[in-house]
Amino acid sequence: MLFCDLRSDQLLDALPVQGLSLDDYIGKTGRLTGTVPIPNRAIAERARRAILPGRTGVWVERGRDIWWGGILWTLSLASDARGFLSAQVQAGGWESYLYRRLLFDTQIAKQVDQFDIARQLVDYAQMAEGGDISITYETAVSGVLRDRAFSRYDLHSIGDLLDDLAAVEQGFEWRIASYRDSDGRRVKRLMMGHPVIRTGTTDIVLDHPGPVLSYAWPTDATAKANAWQSRGASVNGNLATDSYPLTSPLLVAEDDLAAGWPRLDGSSDYTTVEVQSTLDAHARADATAARNPVTIPEITVLLGGNITPALLGATVRLRIRDLWHPDTLDARYRVVGLSITPPERGRPETARLYLEVP
């Protein structure tokens, strides 16, 4: 694992890490954990210089490929009963930095593409003194124009503003990818996809029984709702009268009820949204998501070959034949998350893939 200065990306050291476990997602910040063994004074000195929580960036290499990148946030030094030292580290993906940066200046956008608004927020974070960690991006647009006013008084984090911007109707997905470019440089790239991030051009076929060692297929109706209303900010400027929040129309899925489903109510709050059309767009997006809660199946496969973190956003063709699927499940799913588990005695290195049901 490479330990680098977060701002300059200058290499500080390359140290061995035991028990390395990492995950990466679309729509969620990835995480890394591992332990740097400290067998002697020389390694201790190197580790003290390189492992600086909040200031050190980490890159995970496999061969010459970059598999993961992020910011080292915590260090826990431990000594066992025999006096052996180890440094337990935890890191969050590059996205975690944007949740540690606040908006201190009001930003207004009128009929600006939502991708450009997102890039402006990232630029705001990186233009501040000491704020540039070399997040790059492309200039593609989504074709969806937005009006947005982000108030400095709300003190929202840049990451939260990106999430809110992406979560509205006709929104997008975003993540910060780590890779090595054709010139061998390490790259942190803001990726956005409307409506979703997609990578790869060919499907990867995975069978159970076969390369798929195990799977879990949850179905959860506790978050389902077919009647929905969202609340916004209070817009009453008369202090002498009662104040009420802005509300969206009540959205009821009549066809759901006609099909025999019981009525299930849901709501969401956007306390800083003061524009009716923006609140209504949030409500429609939330109502659509709540009507059919996302099912995230998990499959476990052996790591290696075409199973790498580059699968995020790619499509796999999954075929399962067992007692529950006697006629064979054969369908395509998008990979939205990946978690790598280190090998243990008697168990090989595996990857758990999180899939999006279309």
Instruction: Confirm if 115 and 140 have CB atoms less than 8 A apart.
Output: yes
The pTM score is 0.88
| Model confidence pLDDT, tens digit, residues 69-84 | 999 999 999 998 888 9
| Model confidence pLDDT, tens digit, residues 190-247 | 999 999 999 988 889 999 999 999 999 998 889 899 999 999 998 766 656 677 899 9
Average pLDDT over all residues of the chain: 93
| Model confidence pLDDT, tens digit, residues 55-68 | 999 999 988 899 99
Check residue 272 and give its pLDDT: 86
| Model confidence pLDDT, tens digit, residues 155-187 | 999 999 999 999 999 999 999 999 999 999 999
In the chain the first and final C-alpha atoms are separated, in Å, by: 36
Cα 268 from chain centre: 21
Cα separation, 72 vs 94, in Å, equals 10
- Which residues have C-beta within 8 Å of that of residue 301, sequence separation ≥ 6? 206, 211, 212, 213, 307, 350, 351, 353
Report which secondary-structure segment, H or E, holds 288.
helix 276-291
Which of helix, strand or coil describes residue 43?
helix
Cα separation, 224 vs 176, in Å, equals 30
